[in-house]
Structures are given as C-alpha cells and as structure tokens.
Amino acid sequence: MDLCLETFGARSDPALLLIGGAAASMDWWETEFCERLAAAGRFVIRYDHRDTGQSPSSPPGEPDYTSQDLATDPLRILDELGIARAHLAGLSMGGGIAQFLAALHPDRVRTLTLIATGPGGERASDEPLPPLNPPATQPAPDWGDRAAVIDYVVEDQRAYGGVPFDEERIRRLAERVVDRTRDMAASAANHMLAPGQSPSFRLADITAPTLVLHGTADPLFPPAYGEALAAEIPHARLVPLVDMGHEYPPPRLWDTVLAEITRHTSGETPC
C-alpha cells in the first residue's frame, strides 16, 4: 500500500503523527499548524488516508480495504519511516484509531492527543452518553463539477464547524482538497463503507499519557464525549476549546492548542 505523507522538522526530533478524520485528506492539518509544531521541536507527520488526497483510491462505494486496514495504516507509516514510537494526535475517526493503537500497540505510542472524538473502546461507566447529533445530510453534488464539489465541502464544514465560521479560509482549504484528491466521490463515501471491525479494547487499558481537546460547540460529539474520555482513560486531562465545533482546530485557537500539544508531548505537567 502506497500512502501519501509529508513530514515537517528534523527527523532527530520526537515524532508526532497526525491522524485525520473520516473522508479527510492531510490538507485539513494546515501547513502553518504543522510548521509551528515542528518549530517547537517535533518531527511532524501528516498523511492522506486511503481514498483521500493522493493515496490510492477505490471505486466509489466499493472500498478495497477494511476498517482494520485504516486503523493500522499509522503503524505502516511509522515502520516505513523507521520510527519505533511516536506521539499520536487523532481527530474524530483519527481519534478512534489513536485510541485503538494506544490500547493494542502500546509499545508504539508515546502520548495521545484526542481531538473532537469520543470513546472508541469499552467504558467502565454504564451511564449513557447523549446521542450523536450529525447535521442534516446534503444532497450529493455532481462529482465532475469542481465548483459544485467545492461548495459541497464548504457547506459540510459549515454544518459541523463552530463559531465564527471563516468561509474564506475553509473555501481555500476545500479547493486544495478537491484539486489533490483522486476521486472525491470515493473519498466522501468509502470510509463509512469499509467492512470489518477492529478488535475491542477497554479505555482503562490505555496507559499512554492522554490529552483530550474538545470543542464546546461540537454538533456531532457533544462535550460529554470529551468528558467521558477524560474520565475513562487513566490520568487523562481535558481542555475545553470554546466555541470550537467538530472541526480541525481553527487558527484562532492555535496558540492554545499548539501550547497544549507541545507541553503534553514534552512530558511537562501543566500548572
């Protein structure tokens, strides 16, 4: 499997692997965000999931991989780069992947940062979480019409994002995503259709130091999901991000997010 990846910083620095959400290419981890992490002394890696960006594409509706493949691709990337252990930062689906790897491959994980995600493993508490609250689904665009697809991506981000919504920035990112992606129809559908199920695990079995970053305005995973992660994973720490939705951290929050990730991956204890 040939996966497209990009690195920032010195290979001698501690590795930090960024794992994106479903149907999301590496572009949503913005270049400046990655460069600032690298400037703080991290060897930053971002990559295109299968069926996103320049990684291989399957026919729309017919993924030629399993959910287990998606969950273990980060290990393939670390192996290819010769990295034994890395810090993992995962968002949404990527947060679930990061939890899975920390529980079942603890020797490969130095720390966890979980962003805009929920419990991917079994909880000790039997208290129910609020139901997921996905925004209304848009009609699919004409996937051959670049302008229509860009509009579709922008409106999807608007539905999931927090406030304020920076349409100019999101449109710029959407244009890059659409222009880099081999098949946007496959990218939009195939992750949710990938067959199989990863082995189960308990959140209590995660031993990696864990930072939970969760938006207070997340329309998909209400804040209770971030609170549950912090309560269930031993010694995890929750940092609420005011008015952030189900999205990659926007620039207005970068100072906070970058400081938290840098401190967390250095082993420093916050005051």
Residue 235 backbone dihedrals phi, psi, to 5 degrees: 65, 20
What pLDDT score was predicted for residue 8? 98
Nearest to 83 by CA among 20, 191, 9, 28: 9
What pLDDT score was predicted for residue 271? 43
* Residue 30: Cβ within 10 Å count: 20
Mean pLDDT across 112-122: 98
Half-sphere exposure of 57 (CA within 13 A, CB side): 18
What pLDDT score was predicted for residue 192? 96
**Are 211 and 124 in contact, with CB atoms under 8 Å apart?**
no
Mean pLDDT, the chain, whole residue set: 96
Q: What angle do CA 90, 95, 99 make, to 5 degrees?
A: 110
**Is this model's pTM higher than 0.75 or not?**
yes
User: Domain locations in the chain?
Assistant: 5-131+183-266
Segment (H or E) for 110: strand 109-115
Residue range 146-172, pLDDT digits in tens? 999 999 999 999 999 999 999 999 999
Cα–Cα distance for residue pair 84/142, rounded to 1 Å: 44
pLDDT over 90 at 236, yes or no: yes
Taking phi over 0 as left and psi of -120 to 50 as alpha, with beta for the rest, 24 belongs to beta
Confidence band of 204 (pLDDT split at 50, 70, 90): very high
Segment (H or E) for 228: helix 223-232
Residue range 75-98, pLDDT digits in tens? 999 999 999 999 999 999 999 999
Half-sphere exposure of 167 (CA within 13 A, CB side): 6
Residue range 258-269, pLDDT digits in tens? 999 999 999 866
Q: Give 1 or 113, the one with higher predicted confidence.
A: 113
Mean pLDDT across 21-27: 98
Cβ partners under 8 Å of residue 138, min gap 6: 152, 155, 156, 159
Mean pLDDT across 63-75: 97
Residue range 165-202, pLDDT digits in tens? 999 999 999 999 999 999 999 999 999 999 998 789 99
- 107-111, 129-133, 184-188, 194-198: which range is least confident on average? 194-198
What pLDDT score was predicted for residue 269? 60
Half-sphere exposure of 163 (CA within 13 A, CB side): 4
- Give domain 5-131+183-266's CATH superfamily: Alpha/Beta hydrolase fold, catalytic domain (3.40.50.1820)
Confidence band of 45 (pLDDT split at 50, 70, 90): very high
Cα–Cα distance for residue pair 200/104, rounded to 1 Å: 9
Pairing of the two strands 43-47 and 86-91: unpaired
What pLDDT score was predicted for residue 270? 60
Nearest to 244 by CA among 204, 197, 267, 212: 212
What pLDDT score was predicted for residue 199? 85
What pLDDT score was predicted for residue 58? 97
Confidence band of 22 (pLDDT split at 50, 70, 90): very high
